[in-house]
A and B are shown apart, each in its own frame.
Chain A
């Protein structure tokens, strides 16, 4: 069964600290993996999209890694800011394409405290 599991479920860190969110998937055959940020009361916003051949992708203070062999991805946030408080959703796409093949994780809720 295609599944995406994220950990931790929630996380609290102090402003300025780094953190890493995890995503494990069993989706096969794999096409791409996306990380979305969802602020409270807002729609998800794409942070990165990574294909099979990409190991690392950065977007400002956000760096995503992908290990297609172990079927794991991580999202590392550097020097966290209060505005990073949000839910982070990992989404894996199965090949062949088609948006009905997007498998969503339950998300990690991050709270950054001053």
Chain B
């Protein structure tokens, strides 16, 4: 099993540019999560999907952030326009909710730097 695959691993962009982060969950997992990690705030849940449907996006900081999951094997997190305060590591995670409190499997993260 290849695990959760994220791309790009590193992204450096200028303020105002559009950023798209990509995620391929583990095959068969029906939950997908986007997290953001910073030194100041630790890991924060942005949004999660169940069977490709967004369930809770209350963690999305503002309208500049959007996430989609067009099919079971692909999701994107888009920031438009990007700002320096968006600089962080963005993690995608997936889970098979076989029961209550399924284990989360994280990708390696996408480190975003907005200049």
- The answer to whether B104 and A32 touch across the interface, beta carbons within 8 angstroms, is no
B101 within 8 A of A: yes
B103 within 8 A of A: yes
B42 within 8 A of A: yes
CA distance A58 to B68 in the complex (A): 38
Counting residue pairs across A and B whose Cβ atoms lie within 8 Å, the total is 52
- The answer to whether B45 and A45 touch across the interface, beta carbons within 8 angstroms, is no
Residues of A within 8 A of B109 (CB): 41-43
Interface of B is mostly: strand
- With A31-B100, A100-B59 known as contacts, the answer to whether A43 contacts B45 (CB < 8 A) is no
Chain A stretch 65-114: residues in CB contact (< 8 A) with chain B? 89, 93, 97-100, 102, 104-107
CA distance A45 to B4 in the complex (A): 12
- The answer to whether A97 and B59 touch across the interface, beta carbons within 8 angstroms, is no
B108 within 8 A of A: yes
A-B contact pairs, 11 of them (CB 8 A): A31-B101, A34-B103, A41-B108, A41-B109, A42-B109, A43-B4, A44-B106, A97-B100, A102-B45, A104-B44, A105-B42
- The answer to whether B31 and A42 touch across the interface, beta carbons within 8 angstroms, is no
